[in-house]
């Protein structure tokens, strides 16, 4: 039986460039060759840009995602002994939800196998935040990962090199070629890793607004439905919530400051918006996993905090240690009197990034202590000069650029703004 005509990378690029559909064989060949590094980066970049412009059909996307999953191993969580459900966020400013969410859901009897990443640009990374806890490490073997999941019920760790390696290399290339913001590429990147992770169920937190990758609700719905469809097609019970990221989530934006705020939530406090989003995601996760415990009850009982302490300690961290604090602070006051209408999430994220809390390249170091604390939020009445933001930093030379990025971030008007909606939609069906 013939193996079919020889496939060449130029034919693959031209087909997609000209609006044609790639065959399953072409896609599988490309992902295999790309993972093996036999295709030049500039050729892969050309195909990725063609996909940005031409898109992928549902069939192409399904094959593309399956090939990325097949490029590495798939974790086996069958010995965990309880249902598993993970959560993935598309990223935002002040989005520390994973930190309290994992122990909350675990305390409800659902194991949470979360493989997370580091921040890039104006969005923070879960691993960067947790690494501000003295001794804590994200690195562990697959056996240790499954063992901790079995014994404690929650793990937040770095993905191993053998899990969807095609995505690891492709994401790095997309990041430097302007091909990140494309729904098919975002969806396949996220879902290939999450499906390979082996979880029974998955809840997606798709952010929308100025601080999100996709600022419009229509784009967010398309991405959510695309990812839900991919999950369902691979036998993973998948649901998505579209949540607000037009303004920062909570009052803390940074690394150590966000850990502090997450612990406040586990202690029964914390900002109302962080608690609302966390509980909405937790309830959906417990529901998809077939549980019946109310996540609010495990916060009130202290059971969620117990899981947090055990989870941090199991990965070498000291859950009772003091977190690092910045050596310098600068307060930003209101430019006028009135009601705060909005505090722009992207601008605040850029300020935190310029202060040192984020990175421009994956290999860049980040500051544990740099960040922004909101003293006021939308709806608050202020007088000119009242403190609105506190900037935390260790390097005074970074302050001027940070203040420049803050220009126009705080909008003040004469009348109170409309109430903010935190949960915009729930998506349970994929695109047809």
383-400 pLDDT, tens digit per residue, is: 999 999 999 999 999 999
Q: What is the pLDDT of residues 219-245, one digit of tens each?
A: 999 999 999 999 999 999 999 999 999
Backbone angles phi, psi at 298, to 5 degrees: -75, -20
pLDDT at res. 2: 46
Beta strand 85-89 with 201-208: parallel, antiparallel or unpaired? Answer: parallel
Q: Which residue has the tokens 């969580």?
A: 77
Average pLDDT over residues 27-46: 95
Provide the pairing of β-strand 423-427 with 237-244: antiparallel
pTM (2 decimals)? 0.93
Confidence class for position 3, pLDDT limits 50, 70, 90: low
CB atoms within 10 A of CB 73: 16
Q: What pLDDT sits at residue 328? A: 95
* Euclidean distance between CA atoms 266 and 91, whole angstroms: 21
- HSE-up (13 A, CA, CB side) for residue 148: 26
Give pLDDT, residue 358.
74
Contact 125/95 with Cβ under 8 angstroms?
A: no
Q: What are the phi and psi torsion angles at 428 (to 5°)?
A: -120, 0
Q: Rounded CA gap, 10 and 29, in Å?
A: 13
Of residues 271, 10, 277, 42, the one with CA closest to residue 177? 42
Nearest to 310 by CA among 155, 162, 166, 417: 155
**Catalytic residue annotation:** 88, 167, 174, 189, 193
3-state secondary structure of 410: strand
Q: Which structure tokens are listed for 36?
A: 């093996």
Q: Cα(153)–Cα(68) distance, rounded to whole angstroms?
A: 28
Q: What's the pLDDT tens digit per position in 168-211?
A: 889 888 878 888 878 999 999 999 999 999 999 999 999 999 98
DSSP conformational letter for 164? S
Q: Helices 183-196 & 58-70, crossing angle to 10 degrees?
A: 40
213: pLDDT strictly greater than 90: no
Q: Which of 175, 172, 144 is nearest to 158 (CA)?
A: 144
Q: What domains are defined for the chain?
A: 9-55 (1.20.970.10), 85-321 (3.40.1030.10), 328-413 (3.90.1170.30)
Asked if 146 and 79 count as a contact pair (C-beta separation under 8 A), the reply is yes
* Phi, psi of 178, rounded to the nearest 5 degrees: 70, 30
**Cβ(388)–Cβ(382) below 8 Å:** yes
Is 217 within 8 Å of 424 (Cβ atoms)?
A: yes
d(C-alpha 289, C-alpha 84), whole Å: 7
Residue 1 has pLDDT above 50, yes or no: no
Q: What is the pLDDT of residues 332-352, one digit of tens each?
A: 999 999 999 999 999 999 999
The separation between CA 252 and the C-alpha centre of its own chain, rounded to angstroms, equals: 16
Which letter does DSSP use for residue 134 in this model? T
What mean pLDDT do residues 106-134 have? 85
């Amino acid at each position: 039986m013939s193996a079919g005509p020889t496939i060449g990378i130029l034919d693959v690029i031209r087909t997609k460039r000209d609006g044609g559909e790639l065959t399953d064989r072409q896609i599988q060949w490309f992902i295999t060759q790309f993972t093996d590094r036999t295709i030049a980066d500039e050729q892969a970049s050309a195909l990725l840009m063609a996909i940005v412009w031409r898109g992928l059909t549902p069939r192409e996307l399904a094959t593309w995602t399956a090939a990325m999953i097949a490029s590495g191993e798939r974790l086996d969580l069958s010995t965990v002994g309880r249902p598993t459900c993970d959560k993935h966020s598309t990223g935002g400013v002040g989005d520390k939800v994973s930190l309290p969410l994992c122990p909350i859901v675990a305390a409800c009897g659902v194991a949470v196998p979360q493989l997370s990443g580091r921040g890039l640009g104006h969005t923070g990374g879960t691993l960067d935040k947790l690494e501000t806890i003295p001794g804590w490490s994200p690195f562990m073997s697959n056996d240790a990962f499954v063992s901790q999941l079995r014994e404690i019920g929650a793990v937040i760790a770095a993905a191993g090199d053998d899990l969807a390696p095609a995505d690891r290399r492709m994401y790095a290339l997309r990041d430097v070629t302007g091909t990140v913001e494309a729904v098919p590429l975002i969806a396949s990147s996220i879902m290939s890793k999450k499906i390979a992770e082996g979880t029974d169920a998955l809840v997606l937190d798709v952010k929308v607004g100025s601080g999100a990758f996709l600022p419009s609700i229509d784009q967010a719905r398309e991405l959510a439905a695309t990812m839900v469809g991919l999950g369902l097609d691979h036998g993973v019970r998948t649901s998505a919530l579209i949540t607000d990221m037009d303004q920062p989530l909570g009052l803390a934006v940074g690394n150590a400051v966000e850990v502090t705020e997450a612990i406040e939530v586990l202690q029964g406090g914390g900002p109302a918006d962080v608690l609302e989003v966390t509980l909405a995601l937790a309830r959906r996760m417990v529901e998809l996993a077939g549980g019946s415990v109310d996540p609010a009850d495990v916060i009130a009982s202290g059971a969620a905090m117990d899981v947090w302490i055990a989870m941090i300690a199991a990965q070498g961290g000291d859950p009772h240690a003091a977190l690092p604090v910045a050596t310098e602070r600068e307060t930003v006051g209101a430019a006028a009197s009135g009601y705060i209408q909005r505090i722009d999430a992207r601008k605040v994220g850029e300020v935190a990034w310029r202060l040192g809390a984020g990175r421009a390249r994956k290999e860049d170091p980040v500051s544990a202590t740099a960040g922004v604390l909101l003293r006021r939020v939308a709806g608050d009445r202020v007088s000119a000069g009242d403190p609105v933001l506190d900037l935390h930093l260790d390097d005074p030379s970074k302050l001027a650029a940070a203040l420049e990025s803050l220009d126009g971030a705080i909008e003040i008007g004469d009348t109170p703004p409309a109430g903010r909606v935190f949960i915009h939609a729930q998506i349970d069906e994929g695109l047809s």
